[in-house]
A = this chain, B = another copy of it.
Amino acid sequence: MGLYEEIDGFFHPKTIAVIGASSKPGKIGYAVLENLKSYNGKIYPINPKAEKIMGLKCYPDIESVPDTIDMAVIVIRSENTPDTIDKCAKKGVKNIVIISGGFKELGGKYENIEKEVRKRARKYGIRIIGPNCIGVFDPRTGIDTLFEPKWKAQRPSPGNIAILSQSGTYALILMEWAAVDVLGISKLVSYGNKVDVDEADLLEYLKDEPNTDVIGIYMEGISNGRKFFKVAKEVGKVKPIVILRGGRTEKAKRAVKSHTGFLGGGGRIYEAAFKQAGVFIARNLEDLYDIMKALAKQPPAKGRRIAMVSNGAGLMVQAVDAIEDEEMELAELTEKTKETLREHLSPYTVVDNPVDLTGSATEDDYYFTVKTVLEDPNVDIILVFFVLQNAPLEPSVVEKLSQLLPRAKELSKPIIFGAAGGQYTKYVTQEAEKFGFPMYQIPERSVRAAKALYKWGERLQK
């Protein structure tokens, strides 16, 4: 069995044992079982102290289950884990997710327990995700080992971005942001202390995984740098990889050690290696998400020349600052474009780049302007900002503009939206996301998204 099949096993097991399932609401072993209960496979709770949990027959140990077991999810004290792996091996289990913490991150004897787990995984050829993680989620197969109840953590729909994260928290936040934005995901893997499966394995798997187009990673320490950078370079040629590094500073070294047991620091060395591998480096979690969203929704750009349109110029003034900061370019609109706009728009419009449609702008003004600017040979990327709150602007402007998406794709010119406000704006924003426009709250974030699409286009041309 190759790496692809080994890793793929985590996403569609036919039978799952939940070792450490609990009947007490609020316990991690309860939440895991509850989330897995709706998975389309056979679920076997394992707990010597219960007869039944959530209506499912409970077994004292994995050996007593009268069925083969493909995957085990472990939620027990770290001290008992190595023996449990022996039992899983006897039962023929191929994949294990260890949710529990209490391993390498605590140091001392706990570090030895983790070593023992690794030794047995290698011995039996079992693939392990974790420990000290939230495991896996796949909206297509429904596999869900998270210990966050669904009413507390929204699951996104099927989509094309894969989330890999050493931190369970960050995996969760990215997942929920994607759910709120109606941005689907392909796979989520929180791998914690990565006793066995690591980023490199997951990247190699995702390279061939047909539903994944974009890969986002939050990582702290790298265990095998050579392996990782080799794979990242390879995979990054065909699918964009966006990386956020935590614990890069000297001060954070200790914090990383007590989080997932790895060594932090070395920020600049890593950054140079990431750049050489051709991956995108995110500045923070929002930036990681922003870039993934842009890459997932819009085509790569052919150049760095940005045109802007808005009914509120403040946003565009700051976007121009960001264009300078990010070394992008403000497009020079052709005379033909300017003439066409001048003929059609009100005399108070500022026809230049940025195009300021002023507070009186309607949906039609936006449509005409974006349509015209899209055809301008001097323009590679269009940033459209909205003050959706303005009385004259209809919310249907986002649907109207979506009519231009096929043409924009044909020309490979990304269209990126920007808007911010309260409930109403959030609602319209969500609609815009559904139509396929990535939407950002502040102009700096729109420009960062534009830059990623330019850089990805540049990479593909090589």
Interface residues of A (CB under 8 A from B): 26-28, 30-31, 101-102, 105-106, 147-149, 151-154, 165-170, 172-173, 176-177, 179-180, 218, 220, 246-252, 254-256, 258-260, 264, 284-286, 312-318, 320-321, 323-325, 330, 348, 350, 352, 354, 356, 358-360, 387-392, 420-425, 441-442, 444
Please name all residues of chain B whose beta carbon is closer than 8 Å to the beta carbon of A318 when the two chains form the complex.
246-247, 252, 284-285
Are A317 and B255 also in contact (CB < 8 A) when A177-B420, A286-B441 are?
yes
Known A168-B359, A169-B312, A177-B420; 10 more pairs at CB < 8 Å: A27-B392, A148-B387, A151-B424, A167-B317, A176-B389, A179-B422, A246-B314, A246-B321, A250-B324, A259-B316
Q: How far is the CB of A182 from chain B (nearest CB, A)?
A: 12
Q: How far is the CB of A184 from chain B (nearest CB, A)?
A: 14
Instruction: List 11 contacting pairs A-B, 8 Å CB cutoff, sorted by A.
Output: A101-B348, A148-B389, A149-B389, A153-B424, A169-B312, A176-B422, A251-B321, A252-B321, A255-B317, A284-B444, A286-B441
Q: How far is the CB of A217 from chain B (nearest CB, A)?
A: 13
Q: Are A153 and B284 in contact (CB under 8 A)?
A: no
Q: Are B320 and A391 in contact (CB under 8 A)?
A: no
Q: How far is the CB of A276 from chain B (nearest CB, A)?
A: 22
Q: Are B314 and A218 in contact (CB under 8 A)?
A: yes
Q: How far is the CB of A129 from chain B (nearest CB, A)?
A: 16
C-alpha gap A102/B359 in the complex (Å): 11
Please name all residues of chain B whose beta carbon is closer than 8 Å to the beta carbon of A166 when the two chains form the complex.
314
Q: Are A359 and B321 in contact (CB under 8 A)?
A: no
Q: Are A330 and B442 in contact (CB under 8 A)?
A: no
Q: Are B176 and A313 in contact (CB under 8 A)?
A: no
Q: Are B441 and A153 in contact (CB under 8 A)?
A: no
Are A317 and B259 also in contact (CB < 8 A) when A147-B359, A154-B423, A350-B105 are?
yes
Chain B residue nearest to A310 in the complex (CB): B169
User: Chain B CB within 10 Å — which of A26, A324, A356, A359 has the most?
Assistant: A359
Are A314 and B168 also in contact (CB < 8 A) when A324-B249, A325-B249, A359-B28 are?
yes
Q: Are B359 and A314 in contact (CB under 8 A)?
A: no
Q: How far is the CB of A134 from chain B (nearest CB, A)?
A: 8
User: Chain B CB within 10 Å — which of A147, A172, A444 has the most?
Assistant: A172
Please name all residues of chain B whose beta carbon is closer than 8 Å to the beta carbon of A249 when the two chains form the complex.
320-321, 324-325
User: Chain B CB within 10 Å — which of A218, A246, A360 has the most?
Assistant: A246
C-alpha gap A358/B260 in the complex (Å): 12
C-alpha gap A127/B256 in the complex (Å): 58
User: Chain B CB within 10 Å — which of A101, A169, A317 has the most?
Assistant: A317
Please name all residues of chain B whose beta carbon is closer than 8 Å to the beta carbon of A312 when the two chains form the complex.
167-169
C-alpha gap A7/B368 in the complex (Å): 41
Chain B residue nearest to A264 in the complex (CB): B317
Q: How far is the CB of A97 from chain B (nearest CB, A)?
A: 14
Please name all residues of chain B whose beta carbon is closer than 8 Å to the beta carbon of A167 when the two chains form the complex.
312-315, 317
C-alpha gap A5/B327 in the complex (Å): 47
Please name all residues of chain B whose beta carbon is closer than 8 Å to the beta carbon of A101 when the two chains form the complex.
348, 358-359
Chain B residue nearest to A308 in the complex (CB): B255
Please name all residues of chain B whose beta carbon is closer than 8 Å to the beta carbon of A323 when the two chains form the complex.
251
Q: Are A220 and B317 in contact (CB under 8 A)?
A: yes
User: Chain B CB within 10 Å — which of A148, A169, A251, A312 has the most?
Assistant: A169
C-alpha gap A358/B101 in the complex (Å): 8
C-alpha gap A424/B152 in the complex (Å): 5
Q: Point out the residue from B170, B176, B254, B390 that lies within 8 Å of A148, measured CB to CB.
A: B390
Q: Are B26 and A247 in contact (CB under 8 A)?
A: no
Please name all residues of chain B whose beta carbon is closer than 8 Å to the beta carbon of A102 when the two chains form the complex.
348
Q: How far is the CB of A252 from chain B (nearest CB, A)?
A: 4
Please name all residues of chain B whose beta carbon is closer than 8 Å to the beta carbon of A246 when the two chains form the complex.
314, 317-318, 321
Q: Are B356 and A172 in contact (CB under 8 A)?
A: no
C-alpha gap A320/B368 in the complex (Å): 48
Q: How far is the CB of A381 from chain B (nearest CB, A)?
A: 16
